[in-house]
Amino acid sequence: MQQQPGSRVADSGGDVAERVRQVIAKAGCSQREFARRIVMDPSKLSRSLGGSRRFTAAELARIADAGSVDAGWLLGSGSGSTPDSGHGSGSGAGASPEHAPVPDASDAPGTPVPRVRRTAAPGGGRPLQIVRETVRLIAEHGFHAVRVSDIAEACETSTAAIHYHFPGRAELLEAAVRWCMDEDTARRAARIAEAGSAADEMRQLIELQTPHTAQQRRQWLV
């Protein structure tokens, strides 16, 4: 059986959540920072780890990509790379099956996970590349004019790979807006931390209201 990227993954025993915790621990960052890396609402990640919400197959695909593990291992349906195996997500048999459907969690343990050749993911991982290109294309052409195939072409990958990480255009827009907000928040926090006084902090906040780089202008347009 195969799961659609937007479908929820059964995890009655909490095994999937525990594997995700291992990935986060191995990443060496906070839960909030990991949520930013996979372009996921931190509260959704927290609820999914706590058992009050189930992960979607697409979310697990992004987690696998960010943690350089196999999506099949997260689901317990294969013997792919684990956080301690040392395999990167962009090479070898341990790579996440980016162009393949996500295996169903009900598959019997030990069932080989489908492997396909994928293009090497850029720095930051494939999900962040997809989101950045989505932001750029929306800023340049408007959301309604941007097709998934346009995003795939910009990322030099397939539309199947886009849907593997983000089921549809609505999820892409949500991720793009969230990424822009997270980037703005991080930039604001960094500038305020440099302020030496309340007056300087106010000047920094006013300065932040004007986008100076092409990337900042794109984020404002989204």
| Averaged pLDDT for residues 32-36 | 90
Confidence band for 93, pLDDT divided at 50, 70 and 90:
very low
- Residue 126 and residue 210 in contact, taking contact as beta carbons nearer than 8 Å: no
DSSP assignment of 55-88: PBHHHHHHHHHHHT--HHHHHTSS----TTT---
pLDDT at 102 over 70: no
Confidence band for 78, pLDDT divided at 50, 70 and 90:
low
Percent of the chain with pLDDT over 90: 34
> Considering the domain 126-221, what is its CATH architecture?
Orthogonal Bundle (1.10)
- Residue 72 and residue 113 in contact, taking contact as beta carbons nearer than 8 Å: yes
- Write down the mean pLDDT value for the chain: 77
**Which of the two residues, 203 and 37, has the higher pLDDT score?**
37
Please report the pLDDT score of residue 92 as a whole number: 34
Domain boundaries, the chain: 2-103, 126-221
- Residue 109 and residue 130 in contact, taking contact as beta carbons nearer than 8 Å: no
Say which range, 79-88, 103-112, 155-164, 187-196, has the weakest mean pLDDT.
103-112
CA distance 81 to 62: 15
Please report the pLDDT score of residue 147 as a whole number: 92
Domains 2-103 and 126-221 alike in fold: no
Please report the pLDDT score of residue 202 as a whole number: 80
Please report the pLDDT score of residue 165 as a whole number: 92
pTM score over 0.85: no
Please report the pLDDT score of residue 27 as a whole number: 92
Q: What totals of helices (H) and strands (E) does the chain contain, helices first?
A: 11, 2
| Averaged pLDDT for residues 22-33 | 93
Please report the pLDDT score of residue 217 as a whole number: 61
Please report the pLDDT score of residue 84 as a whole number: 63
pLDDT at 28 over 90: yes
Which class is domain 2-103? mainly alpha
**Which of the two residues, 209 and 152, has the higher pLDDT score?**
152
